[in-house]
Amino acid sequence: LASASAAAAAGQKALLMATSLATLACGLIGLADDSLIITRKSNKGLAPKTKLLLQMATSLVFCVAILCSNPSVVANAMTNALIGSVMPALGPLYCIAGVLLISGESNAVNLTDGIDGLAAGVFALAAVGLAGGLG
């Protein structure tokens, strides 16, 4: 029983590390984009295709790492996200859904943030909604 809880703790640490690294990578993409805007003194940062490819690559690495390291985490996440105990067997489709979700959310925040810091208010509303859904 002790080894099972140790394995669960190690899995949670790996999940936290993967999430932290993916968040850091997305932040670094945004930093590179903003740095180019500042150095060029124009609103032209990273090329849109380059930025999207970097975001998608980061998302794909994250999803593959999660899927390979602990498939039960993916199964539990899908169970909690759906109504009841319906759990689709996504397999590799999990990575496709994850890439679209993470890249889409990153771009939505970036688009919203371009409007005078509007992202903070939108994030606050989304956080309240997510907190209510998790509780």
What distance in Å separates the CA atoms of residue 24 and residue 20, rounded to the nearest whole number? 6
Tokens 């509007």, located at residue: 118
Please give the chain's pLDDT, 135 residues, in tens. 566 677 667 767 877 888 889 989 988 998 898 899 889 888 788 898 999 999 999 999 988 888 777 666 565 555 555 555 555 666 677 788 889 888 888 877 777 666 656 767 777 777 787 776 554
Q: Tokens standing for 30?
A: 């945004």
Closest CA to 14 of 69, 56, 57: 69
Q: CB atoms < 10 A from the CB of 16, how many?
A: 10
Closest CA to 59 of 111, 94, 8: 94
